[in-house]
Amino acid sequence: MKREHLIKPVLDRHYPTIEYGKGVFLYDDQGKAYLDASSGAVTAGIGHGVQEIVDAMLEQANKVSFVYRSQFTSEPAEKLAKKLSDSAPGGDYWAFFVNSGSEATETAMKIAIQHWQEKGRPGKNKVLSRRMSYHGITMGALSMSGHVLRRRRFIPLLEDLPVASPPYCYRCPLNKTYPDCRLACADDLETVVKRIGAEHIAAFIAEPIIGAAGGAVVPPEDYYKRIKEICDRHDILFIADEVMTGIARTGAMFGMEHFGVEPDLMALGKGMSAGYTPMAAALVKDHVMEPILNGSKSIMSGHTYSANPQSAAVSLAVLDYIDSHRLVESAKAKGSYLLNRMRRMAETIGIIGDVRGKGLLLAIELVSDRSSKLPFPPGLAVTSRIVDKAFDKGLLVYPAAGGVDGEGDAVIVAPPLTISEEEIDLLVRLLEETVREVMQEISGSDGG
């Protein structure tokens, strides 16, 4: 292998060099255009090359880019915290700024644990989660994640595998059917709580709509109300991991709005700064902060770049752009247009078992047999084939692990919220071509 210096995800693979981006397109140094139907990693929510954001970045850089949070605060950080609280379900949130979604979920976990310590209940220090979940790649976040493949190498360093059943109706892990199931998957959380003992549990964390670990899996409408009731009954804080679903992506500012639940804590990242700078946050309800405000008055966490004015100014500009361009409404309208187009496309493609999602967080799940929902053998690497073939055609889609424990195939489609209907038509045409060609390729192959 040629000696290089940058560690890329796959070391012997060629990655094109992108020269610039505009709107929903990225352009490489060979002049090839890519329709960014994944917003990178479901991040570039307002599209590429937005001048207002660059202006805001410059304006702040001309004042000051960095102040250390142990010494100073800044106007952009204060304003951003207030704006997030004002737009969050029920309001009344505090914001702890960090730099990535993984740091956001870990910070939420630490604050939940500290909350119970300050209340004189230090035994409540476990954070429960579900199988088929992803909360980040750092050790604490990975401990909470049920993403089997991403955990595998670090098992001895991680907490036990997350155990609560996911609300995955397409392939119910409890072999039930909604609504006859009466939300057995939500009640499964209570069974787990009883087994472990609520006196050991600080919080339960879940993605409102399951992203990388499942592919835009939307729970039944009444699922989270039941989850919150169970959490409240057992003095367990509910953390919504909105890293992927937050900030207009699903056709609501926060994914949890679809379910009418106000989480005790939330984790944000990705769309919060839409890829223009690293920025993420843990949002914490007043009542969770209260014992800390009355107790040690300091949260035992933080990063050098936390709450830096440069990233805060960028994120504020992104949120303003989302407001002024009515991108929540756009995600909803464009999302239903795209979902309908994808559903129509799937009717004639036998390997698409399910088309699902909300707003502009959508996915297809691939199966070898539609009626039995039998997944493809892992050796066929169907997800990678689709992602790679789409890439060759100039279409970017995002791989997800399908199946409860990552044994299936799913591909996320989540373009910038600014996408036009003509661009959606192009997206669907390229996606259809891709899936058809992959279907042709694997027919006759046993995946062995």
Cβ proximity to ligand PMP: between 106 and 262 the closer is 106
Q: Write the DSSP assignment of 311-376 as a string of letters.
A: HHHHHHHHHHHHHHTTHHHHHHHHHHHHHHHHHHHHHT-TTEEEEEEETTEEEEEE-SBTTTTBPP
Binding region for ligand PMP (CB under 6 A): 41, 100-102, 105, 134-137, 207, 211-212, 241, 243-244, 269
CA atoms of 89 and 70, how far apart (whole Å):
29
C-alpha closest to that of 270 among 203, 211, 213: 211
Q: Smallest gap, in angstroms, from Cβ of residue 396 to ligand PMP?
A: 15
CA atoms of 77 and 55, how far apart (whole Å):
17
Cβ proximity to ligand PMP: between 36 and 432 the closer is 36
Cβ proximity to ligand PMP: between 101 and 146 the closer is 101
Q: Smallest gap, in angstroms, from Cβ of residue 19 to ligand PMP?
A: 24
Cβ proximity to ligand PMP: between 105 and 315 the closer is 105
Determine how β-strand 352-358 pairs with β-strand 280-285: unpaired
Strand order in the sheet with 93-98: 93-98, 280-285, 265-268, 237-241, 201-206, 126-128
C-alpha torsion sign, points 332, 244, 418, 414: negative
What is residue 282's three-state secondary structure? strand
Q: Smallest gap, in angstroms, from Cβ of residue 84 to ligand PMP?
A: 17
Q: Smallest gap, in angstroms, from Cβ of residue 109 to ligand PMP?
A: 12
Q: Smallest gap, in angstroms, from Cβ of residue 263 to ligand PMP?
A: 13
- Token readout for 204 is 């339960």
Cβ proximity to ligand PMP: between 241 and 423 the closer is 241
Which amino acid does the sequence have at 316? L
What is residue 444's three-state secondary structure? coil
Cβ proximity to ligand PMP: between 281 and 386 the closer is 281
Q: Smallest gap, in angstroms, from Cβ of residue 442 to ligand PMP?
A: 27
Question: How many CA within 13 A on the CB side of residue 372?
Answer: 5
Q: Tell me whether residue 298 is exposed, middle or buried, using C-beta atoms within 10 angstroms of its C-beta: 0 to 12, 13 to 18, 19 or more.
A: exposed
Residue with the shortest CB distance to ligand PMP: 101
Cβ proximity to ligand PMP: between 237 and 380 the closer is 237
Q: Smallest gap, in angstroms, from Cβ of residue 333 to ligand PMP?
A: 24
Q: Quick check: 432 and 338 in contact, CB under 8 A?
A: no
Angle at which helices 309-324 and 327-347 cross, to 10° = 70
Cβ proximity to ligand PMP: between 252 and 430 the closer is 252
Q: Smallest gap, in angstroms, from Cβ of residue 145 to ligand PMP?
A: 8
